[in-house]
A and B are shown apart, each in its own frame.
Chain A
């Protein structure tokens, strides 16, 4: 998609609502989401995200893994199809989902700077802070989108292949189908919040450069670095402060009753990262000379 396709419609929508003083303008957001959703590479990324749970479901159907084989939840899939999205989330949360966020966040500012559309975007009478807010809101929705691309195909494939029996919690109790779906929705929202916090770091890095590929790689490096630090036991004091540390607490939603402590801590950390790094992005972007 070329810059010329995008520009006229966006500057038109932006100028039409110039008098509105909402922080996030819905029309600018809608055009941003159209831009993200229309990119071929993003569509391909969604296909990859969705392929993993489907492949897992088929692999389990073909050969039943014993307890302890493969990633978490895999051996539980045969008893309830809803374990497919849980297993897929536990596999994709370390690498694929953050990679997808890195691509989106890298594109969001550095991408526009790179193809020269950023300066045109800034000629419309929209405050830079509001533009950045729209950019970040679109990344948050992108996080939700990415998680949904894992969960919904996974749930559909799992239910089609394994049915909807009662779900056995980690505590050994049984959940009905409705309650199990509710836990899955909570897990999806929790991980989306975590990815949205990660996207704030990405947005900041994206304002530092005009190279979207470089920004995406740098964002991914931050993610991998955090996972490495989290694996070093000598840095135990640091672990609760790493943005991804509490992502792995989402299985706590499958206990009976739900164990909230780590999840709430995780949400607090998410909020702190989102606020600090969005403000850092603003500090950089609002005072930046746009030369390209």
Chain B
């Protein structure tokens, strides 16, 4: 037997006691992880602030210089939609990143110095997509195909872009700031606004604003917005569904630093070997939308049925996307893929007609066989009612 010093004698008498060491080490690791995550979510004690005060705080604070990491998670309960991302053609980054945001977890890095200097990077795997605004230059860099799109903003574009956060605007909020503004705009007599104490986000103390729809027919259970206690910047937005316990949509900082980012974060020179496409007009978010509208001049404008949280939008699809019609052209293959996805959706029918039903955790959608689409944050039965009311 090997030589032992005194402390080891207990293990000679009870050899199995040695196994306590690895078990204890594993327990320490587990306990340390649990406490750190538990402490992080423990409510810090802050003086009480009413919902109205918080809203004022947020509006006063506006956009402050910051840098950080944002993690965004979507559990929208949607089926995989292959090809839909490419349907926008070369109109660029907006479509691909929008589609990729509909499911799974995504990490963004943000740097924001002023409306004229901002950078947003979607990171993942060995790829990165950067949107960099520096003065009148707007760069979109994609590492996967080594391409850079350069837009020189005109005066009017600059003014318009200054109103909004950088990057393409979309229906899904991309930064906590943008998300909070959208949620606040949607509020009204339809919503209970309360504060539910405090939270800790990205290691910072925050107040939590809770929006609860008064109408219990909607799929949205509540929207929780965490607002930094010191800086009054929204740090996290969570949208809860009535269907699942975890947030159906969550976007929040995992790390945030309120120091002004260095100017070099916003300097972009396309590296050698990069495909650079230049355009003088800004990538105004309105442009592709106008394009889509002009495709079907005969179509009727979308119609809203109901109010508040249970609003159902009924619209006519552009004729090319109508099931059954095939259009010649490059987009045909993508349309074919889309139609294959549609065919996999369950068939539904009723007094309003028949079609395919898409049910997610936060919204439902019906595509009718006669080319209408109804979307709302409600159960399918209300979509049917809205379609029948037409």
Contacting residues of chain B (3-60) with chain A, CB-CB under 8 angstroms: 3-4, 11, 15-16, 18-19, 21-22, 25-26, 29
A73 neighbours in B (Cβ, 8 Å): 126
Task: Name the residue in B69, B128, B274 with the highest tally of chain A Cβ atoms < 10 Å from its Cβ.
Answer: B128
- Check if A275 sits within 8 Å of B25, measured CB to CB: yes
| Chain A nearest Cβ from B107, distance in angstroms | 8
- Check if A128 sits within 8 Å of B145, measured CB to CB: no
Is B330 in the interface zone, CB < 8 Å from A? no
B4, B69, B145: the one within 8 Å of A261 (CB): B69
Other A-B contacts than A168-B272, A172-B128, A251-B125, 5 sampled, CB-CB below 8 A, are: A72-B126, A165-B272, A171-B130, A173-B268, A283-B21
- Check if B22 sits within 8 Å of A280, measured CB to CB: yes
| Chain B nearest Cβ from A224, distance in angstroms | 21
A68, A125, A287: the one within 8 Å of B11 (CB): A287
- Check if B141 sits within 8 Å of A172, measured CB to CB: yes
- Interface bin, chain A: 35 or more
A170 neighbours in B (Cβ, 8 Å): 123, 126-128, 143
A76, A90, A279, A287: the one within 8 Å of B15 (CB): A287
Chain A 253-292 interface mask (CB, 8 Å, partner B; 1/0) = 0110101010000000000100111011011001100000
- Check if B143 sits within 8 Å of A172, measured CB to CB: yes
Task: Name the residue in A171, A259, A275, A280 with the highest tally of chain B Cβ atoms < 10 Å from its Cβ.
Answer: A171
B2, B21, B146, B274: the one within 8 Å of A127 (CB): B2
Residue pairs across A and B with Cβ atoms less than 8 A apart, 10 shown, are: A75-B146, A90-B126, A170-B126, A170-B143, A171-B121, A171-B143, A173-B268, A275-B25, A276-B25, A287-B11
A211–B112 alpha-carbon span in the complex (Å): 59
- Check if A276 sits within 8 Å of B29, measured CB to CB: yes
Closest A residue to B32 using CB positions = A272
Closest A residue to B261 using CB positions = A257
Given known pairs A72-B126, A170-B128, A259-B109, the reply for A282 and B21 (CB within 8 Å) is yes
- Check if B255 sits within 8 Å of A261, measured CB to CB: yes
Chain A 160-174 interface mask (CB, 8 Å, partner B; 1/0) = 000001101011111
How many residue pairs link A and B with beta carbons under 8 A? The number is 96
A68–B18 alpha-carbon span in the complex (Å): 52
A171–B269 alpha-carbon span in the complex (Å): 11
- Check if A276 sits within 8 Å of B22, measured CB to CB: yes
Contacting residues of chain A (159-203) with chain B, CB-CB under 8 angstroms: 165-166, 168, 170-174
A172–B134 alpha-carbon span in the complex (Å): 15
B146 neighbours in A (Cβ, 8 Å): 67, 75-76, 168
- Check if A283 sits within 8 Å of B126, measured CB to CB: no
A126 neighbours in B (Cβ, 8 Å): 2
Contacting residues of chain B (246-272) with chain A, CB-CB under 8 angstroms: 254-255, 265, 268-272
| Chain B nearest Cβ from A52, distance in angstroms | 18
| Chain B nearest Cβ from A43, distance in angstroms | 32
Is B148 in the interface zone, CB < 8 Å from A? yes
- Check if B22 sits within 8 Å of A277, measured CB to CB: yes
Is A115 in the interface zone, CB < 8 Å from B? no
A26 neighbours in B (Cβ, 8 Å): none
- Check if B272 sits within 8 Å of A79, measured CB to CB: yes
On B, residues with C-beta under 8 Å from A are 2-4, 11, 15-16, 18-19, 21-22, 25-26, 29, 69, 109, 121, 123, 125-128, 130, 141, 143-146, 148, 254-255, 265, 268-274
A68 neighbours in B (Cβ, 8 Å): 144-145
Closest B residue to A286 using CB positions = B18
A287 neighbours in B (Cβ, 8 Å): 11, 15-16, 18
B4, B21, B143, B145: the one within 8 Å of A279 (CB): B21
- Check if B25 sits within 8 Å of A67, measured CB to CB: no
B26, B128, B269: the one within 8 Å of A276 (CB): B26
Is A208 in the interface zone, CB < 8 Å from B? no
| Chain B nearest Cβ from A197, distance in angstroms | 12
Is A35 in the interface zone, CB < 8 Å from B? no
Closest A residue to B105 using CB positions = A236
Is A122 in the interface zone, CB < 8 Å from B? yes
Closest B residue to A278 using CB positions = B22
B125 neighbours in A (Cβ, 8 Å): 72, 248, 251
| Chain B nearest Cβ from A103, distance in angstroms | 24
A252–B4 alpha-carbon span in the complex (Å): 46
- Check if B126 sits within 8 Å of A171, measured CB to CB: no
- Check if B270 sits within 8 Å of A172, measured CB to CB: yes
| Chain B nearest Cβ from A153, distance in angstroms | 22
A75, A122, A259, A282: the one within 8 Å of B2 (CB): A122
| Chain A nearest Cβ from B279, distance in angstroms | 18
B123 neighbours in A (Cβ, 8 Å): 170, 252, 255, 259
Closest B residue to A79 using CB positions = B273
Chain A 45-83 interface mask (CB, 8 Å, partner B; 1/0) = 000000000000000000000011000110110010000
Closest A residue to B255 using CB positions = A261
| Chain A nearest Cβ from B246, distance in angstroms | 11
| Chain A nearest Cβ from B275, distance in angstroms | 9
Closest B residue to A71 using CB positions = B126
| Chain B nearest Cβ from A42, distance in angstroms | 28
- Check if A127 sits within 8 Å of B4, measured CB to CB: yes
A282 neighbours in B (Cβ, 8 Å): 18, 21-22
- Check if B22 sits within 8 Å of A127, measured CB to CB: no
Nearest 8 CB-CB pairings of A with B: A287-B15, A283-B18, A280-B22, A279-B22, A168-B271, A72-B126, A172-B141, A170-B128
| Chain A nearest Cβ from B16, distance in angstroms | 7
A122 neighbours in B (Cβ, 8 Å): 2
A17–B16 alpha-carbon span in the complex (Å): 30
A72–B69 alpha-carbon span in the complex (Å): 24
B4 neighbours in A (Cβ, 8 Å): 127
A126–B272 alpha-carbon span in the complex (Å): 59
B126 neighbours in A (Cβ, 8 Å): 72-73, 90, 170, 251, 254
- Check if B128 sits within 8 Å of A67, measured CB to CB: no
A283 neighbours in B (Cβ, 8 Å): 18-19, 21-22
Given known pairs A68-B145, A128-B2, A259-B109, the reply for A286 and B22 (CB within 8 Å) is no
A254–B121 alpha-carbon span in the complex (Å): 14
